[in-house]
Structure 1
């Protein structure tokens, strides 16, 4: 058996401090979205992070009413697929469907509906867009098969500290009818937590980049101060 080949890494002096995804995510199987294999997904709306990260895709979901201006800004700097949040809670029905259509027309590769999206809203979005729909699962009360039958193409599992357990539950629910259904999930803060989530059945992992702009800036400023002494 030959050793696993080393992957050459090309970068530049001005792009040496990109936000890197945890290496353990590479152990995931990945999902194919319009032919592109996705394993690591950065969860951020910080355009500076989005423009300077090595993630395979962007999860652009946030806790306010979806804004087409935010999506437009993200689409201008992202060079990987965007999974665009389009509501589902307060933003629902025709409004969610309209935002979803805008996302598709502005380069979104998929849309994400938050819990507790109603089946009525899901139907509205499904009629409006051709791109895949991700549905966010937050607990074990969701009737997964009902949402899949209504047009959901993949699950985004976000159960906080119970995410690994929730991924395993979802796989068990879908094992007989949809054994290879795509699941992305938040991986946690450590390699061990991420690996547990992958082993539970997640095909791709989302990771947060909160504070990365400030952290990187503080590190650079400290280095600049040392150089000035």
Structure 2
């Protein structure tokens, strides 16, 4: 006997119909349990307006400047989902990264994210200070994954551009004897096909970008308001 298809009812409100929706194909990922909460879709943004109006399971708060505690404070005030907070690893390193990590933890971040240049010394410093999981960003194959796991890394965030799916596959293969279920987060790309390929390669959770969404949504609403106003004249 065929099982009936599951229909998921959607509850919203008149004022909250334009939320930023994560690509539905991400639901095919296995997900990662972070302090008991299952996470599949992760929005990559520091735009607090997007964060407050998004259906993602978590927020990846990483940006190309030195970590600023005021930015994290602003994000934590509006986010209703776990925050994966960037704490540097390149120019910001060592004790400073560990200090930012401690601040992130105390202000509600449920994981900290270190970028690719982070040294083993910096990872070890952060591991000694913070109690939340440490996520390390992998950008190519010139990375000793096993050593970083031993140093305290709890998950990998794979960001390989157009080669992300292949890089995820390499990470999964490299870790098969150490921990075949090691958590992998990865950027999904722009299309459903790219996201599906990244999931098939072994990613447990997918990040998606939200660049320009606030401006695009505002532009669409202004066009609607103009048309509506013209009709009412």
TM-score (norm 1): 0.99
* Cα distance in 1 between the residues matched to 2:30 and 2:91: 34
Kindly indicate whether residue 164 of structure 2 is the aligned counterpart of residue 143 of structure 1: no
CA shift digits 1:80-108 (9 cap, x unpaired): 00000000010000000000000000000
1:134 maps to: 135
What pairs with 1:60-75 in structure 2 (closer than 5 Å)?
60-75=61-76
Structural RMSD (CA):
0.5
* Cα distance in 1 between the residues matched to 2:5 and 2:108: 36
What is the DSSP-based 3-state SS (H/G/I as helix, E as strand, rest coil) of the residue aligned with 2:174? helix
* Cα distance in 2 between the residues matched to 1:169 and 1:65: 30
CA shift digits 1:95-122 (9 cap, x unpaired): 0000000000000000000011000000
Segments of structure 1 that go 5 or more residues without pairing to the other structure are none
Kindly indicate whether residue 206 of structure 2 is the aligned counterpart of residue 194 of structure 1: no
1:51 maps to: 52
* Cα distance in 1 between the residues matched to 2:123 and 2:151: 7
What is the DSSP-based 3-state SS (H/G/I as helix, E as strand, rest coil) of the residue aligned with 2:157? strand
* Cα distance in 2 between the residues matched to 1:211 and 1:126: 35
1:100 maps to: 101
* Cα distance in 2 between the residues matched to 1:7 and 1:134: 32
1:224 maps to: 225
2:184 maps to: 183
1:90 maps to: 91
1:176 Cα shift? 1.5
1:38 maps to: 39
1:167 maps to: 168
1:3 Cα shift? 2.0
What is the DSSP-based 3-state SS (H/G/I as helix, E as strand, rest coil) of the residue aligned with 2:206? strand
- Deviating runs (4+, > 3 A) in structure 1? none
* Cα distance in 2 between the residues matched to 1:219 and 1:50: 19
* Cα distance in 2 between the residues matched to 1:205 and 1:13: 29
What is the DSSP-based 3-state SS (H/G/I as helix, E as strand, rest coil) of the residue aligned with 2:142? coil
TM-score (norm 2): 0.98
* Cα distance in 2 between the residues matched to 1:199 and 1:77: 33
